[in-house]
Amino acid sequence: MIQVKGYAAQKASAPLEPYSFQRRQPGEHDVVIDIKYCGICHTDIHQVTDGWGGSVYPMVPGHEITGVVSQIGPKVIRYKVGDKVGVGCFVDSCRKCGPCQRGLEQYCQEGMTTTYNGFERDGKTQTQGGYSTKIVVDENYVLKMPENIPLDRAAPLLCAGITLYSPLSHWKAGPGKKVGIVGLGGLGHIGVKISHALGAEVTVLSHSLAKQDDAKKLGADKFYATSDPQTFANLKGYFDLIINTVSSGIDLNAYLDLLTLDGAMVLVGMPETETSVGAFLLAGARRTLAGSLIGGIRETQDMLDFCSKHNIACDIELIPIQKVNEAYKRILKSDVRYRFVIDANSL
Nearest-10 Cα torsion for 320, 324, 328, 334? -10
Which segments of 33-82 does DSSP mark as H helices, in order? 42-48
Q: Rule CB under 6 A: is residue 331 a binding residue for ligand NAP? A: yes
Cα 56 to chain centroid, rounded: 20
Which residue of 128, 163, 300, 301 would you call a contact of ligand NAP, by CB under 6 A?
163
Find the farthest-apart pair of alpha carbons in the chain and give their distance in angstroms, rounded: 62
Query: What character string, x for contact with ligand NAP (CB under 6 A) and - otherwise, covers 258-297?
Result: ----------xxx---------------------xxx---
Nearer to ligand NAP, 47 or 132 (CB): 47
Distance CA 83, CA 36 (A): 12
- 44 close to 65: Cβ distance less than 8 angstroms: no
Nearer to Zn ion, 216 or 337 (CB): 337
Choose among ligand NAP, Zn ion, none what residue 190 binds, the Cβ cut-off being 5 to 8 Å by kind: none
Q: Rule CB under 6 A: is residue 191 a binding residue for ligand NAP? A: no
Q: Rule CB under 6 A: is residue 136 a binding residue for ligand NAP? A: no
For residues 159-198, which are near Zn ion according to CB under 5 A? 159
Which residue of 146, 186, 263, 296 would you call a contact of ligand NAP, by CB under 6 A?
186
Query: What character string, x for contact with ligand NAP (CB under 6 A) and - otherwise, covers 221-250?
Result: ------------------------xxxx-x
Question: Strands 30-39 and 134-138, how do they pair?
Answer: antiparallel
Q: Rule CB under 5 A: is residue 245 a binding residue for Zn ion? A: no
Query: Please, which residues bridge with residue 136 across strands?
Result: 32
Which residue of 158, 336, 341, 342 would you call a contact of ligand NAP, by CB under 6 A?
336
Which segments of the chain does DSSP mark as H helices, in order? 42-48, 98-101, 151-154, 160-170, 186-198, 212-218, 229-234, 252-256, 279-283, 297-309, 324-332
Number of residues that bind ligand NAP (CB under 6 A): 30
Question: What is the smallest separation between the CB atom of 25 and ligand NAP, expressed in angstroms?
Answer: 31
Distance CA 304, CA 284 (A): 38
Choose among Zn ion, ligand NAP, none what residue 186 binds, the Cβ cut-off being 5 to 8 Å by kind: ligand NAP
Query: Please, which residues bridge with residue 195 across strands?
Result: none
Question: Which CA distances in Å does 29 have to 74, 104, 138?
Answer: 7, 20, 5
Q: Rule CB under 6 A: is residue 187 a binding residue for ligand NAP? A: yes
Which residue of 6, 16, 43, 161 would you call a contact of ligand NAP, by CB under 6 A?
43
Q: Rule CB under 5 A: is residue 108 a binding residue for Zn ion? A: yes
Nearer to Zn ion, 100 or 218 (CB): 100
- Which 3 state secondary structure label does DSSP give 8? strand
Which residue of 2, 68, 94, 285 would you call a contact of Zn ion, by CB under 5 A?
94
Distance CA 159, CA 72 (A): 24
Choose among Zn ion, ligand NAP, none what residue 36 binds, the Cβ cut-off being 5 to 8 Å by kind: none
Distance CA 216, CA 199 (A): 15
Question: Which CA distances in Å does 34 have to 19, 23, 83, 96?
Answer: 17, 12, 10, 30
- The residues that touch ligand NAP, with contacts defined as CB under 6 A, are 41-43, 46, 159-160, 163, 183-188, 206-207, 211, 245-248, 250, 268-270, 292-294, 331, 334, 336
Chain contacts with Zn ion (rule: CB under 5 A): 41, 43, 93-94, 97, 100, 108, 159
